[in-house]
Structure 1
Amino acid sequence: MSTYFVTGTDTDAGKTLVASGLLAQARRHGLTTLGLKPVASGCEPTAEGLRNIDALTLQAQSEPTTPYATINPHTYAPPIAPHLAARQAGEVPTLGELAAHVASPLAEGRGLTLIEGAGGWRVPLNDHEDLAGLALRLELPVILVVGLKLGCLNHARLSAEAIRADGLRLAGWVGNLIDPDFAADETSYHDNLTTLERSLAAPCLGVVPRLAADTPAARAAAAADHLELPNDD
């Protein structure tokens, strides 16, 4: 069993794309999978209740099938910072509560389990705790998704430093091209990737280009083509 916490250099860095791609890759290897997103804002009302597209994407790559409430227990409608969305809903999620919720699914011991955070490493969960504290409580290695755009070197290095300063292992990083202009100059683009490889001092699990696929399942499959599973050896 391998379990990792997935974080990003910023909101929209591509955490869900990468996480779903890694889960799809694990399924190709015949592994059971589970993707969890304990807290999600920006949820849409449905007949079954609030649903978040990122959590639904992770659910679709979880094998065996897993109830939505297990994947995403805390759902908030406003597309704002989770602690602010929770406050508007009259809730105060805590690390203790999240850790208790994920204990049972983690105990299943699936081949690959990914817990996706919200935003970047220091996103607040409440007025006193960060969501990164869940990775600390569970002592999980971290996969960092780097949104490839101007400024990503600083964001990636600061995120990696914060992860290590908190005492956790950076198990690997993935580059996700979110700004096509960033790759327009091929030499500069590869120089940036080389700088990331050198400064992050962790395995690169892949670089995901801009994808033409237009559905979550197709995008997960396409991303998987560019990803390698982390190695605990």
Structure 2
Amino acid sequence: MSSAFFIAGTDTEIGKTTVAAGLLHAARQRGLSTAAAKPVASDCAMTEQGLRNGDALALLGECSLALDYAEVNPFAFAPAIAPHLAAREVGVELNVAALLPHVQKVLARGADLTLVEGAGGWRVPLTGGESLSDLAVALQLPVILVVGVRLGCINHALLTAEAIARDGLTLAGWVANVVDPATSRLDDNLATLAERLAAPCLGRVPRLAEASPAAVAAHLDLASLLG
């Protein structure tokens, strides 16, 4: 039976792609088919093939199904700025109606595990007053929350979890990604998150010298997610 999840984060640059690629790798190790989508991405580099985003390429590299880059990342923008601002600069209407069919096409491939990764935090704006969270709502996907563990992460995680619940979606699990290993009282912070987040912890990813999908997968508990 195929499963699909929306990957959200407590902020930008906290390891959503690192964790998503690790989950996909763990699924492949179990012999499961995988697919992914990162419908919108900023900070893309121009290549001979067009604009390419490093995070989208990392996800594509862990997809066992044959997907084109444009299927994984249909909306790519060069500036490293908020997606709605980047879209405005090039005259692109970036809303749920534009994003939805692209993601649905990937979901329709029926991989055993499909991950749809957002951009930034939960309320990243789109055009027309919408947010990227509205895409998750339209898809009705359960959410995996990547918590960037550093000072302030408890507040960010709990507020994001509240917003997810308020939007009517299920928090399927969360991953502690230790972006600041010098975080004071690290274990106590993680214990507080475990007490207050009403979802299983899918893993604690330490700061790795090389955060390859294989290395990250070793710290993730896919069984808690898929059974």
Distance 1:43 1:140 in 2: 26
Distance 1:96 1:64 in 2: 25
Aligned-CA RMSD value: 1.1
| Residue range with higher mean Cα deviation, 93-102 or 107-116 | 93-102
TM-score, scaled to structure 1: 0.94
- Counterpart of 2:130 in 1: which secondary structure? coil
The alpha-carbon deviation at position 89 of structure 1 amounts to: 1.2
Distance 2:46 2:64 in 1: 25
The alpha-carbon deviation at position 232 of structure 1 amounts to: 5.2
Which amino acid counterpart does residue 53 of structure 2 have in structure 1? N
Distance 2:168 2:207 in 1: 33
Matched, 1:221 2:222: no
Q: How does 1:42-191 map to 2 (within 5 A)?
A: 42-182=43-183, 188-191=185-188
- Counterpart of 1:146 in 2: which secondary structure? strand
- Counterpart of 1:21 in 2: which secondary structure? helix
Contact 2:147–2:175 (8 Å) recurs in 1: yes
Distance 2:11 2:88 in 1: 22
The answer for the alignment partner of 1:204 in structure 2 is 201
Distance 1:65 1:211 in 2: 29
Q: Runs of 5+ in structure 2 lacking a partner?
A: none
Distance 1:58 1:36 in 2: 8
Q: Which runs of 4+ in 1 moved over 4 A?
A: none
| Residue range with higher mean Cα deviation, 9-18 or 86-95 | 86-95
Distance 2:151 2:145 in 1: 17
CA deviations 1:139-170 (Å, max 9, x no partner) are 10000000000000000000000000100000
The answer for the alignment partner of 2:5 in structure 1 is 4
Contact 2:65–2:111 (8 Å) recurs in 1: no
Distance 1:18 1:10 in 2: 14
TM-score, scaled to structure 2: 0.96
- Counterpart of 2:208 in 1: which secondary structure? coil
Contact 1:163–1:170 (8 Å) recurs in 2: yes
Aligned length: 225
The answer for the alignment partner of 1:193 in structure 2 is 190
Q: Runs of 5+ in structure 1 lacking a partner?
A: none
Contact 1:83–1:127 (8 Å) recurs in 2: no
The answer for the alignment partner of 1:231 in structure 2 is 225
Which amino acid counterpart does residue 189 of structure 1 have in structure 2? L
Distance 2:29 2:154 in 1: 32
- Counterpart of 1:124 in 2: which secondary structure? coil
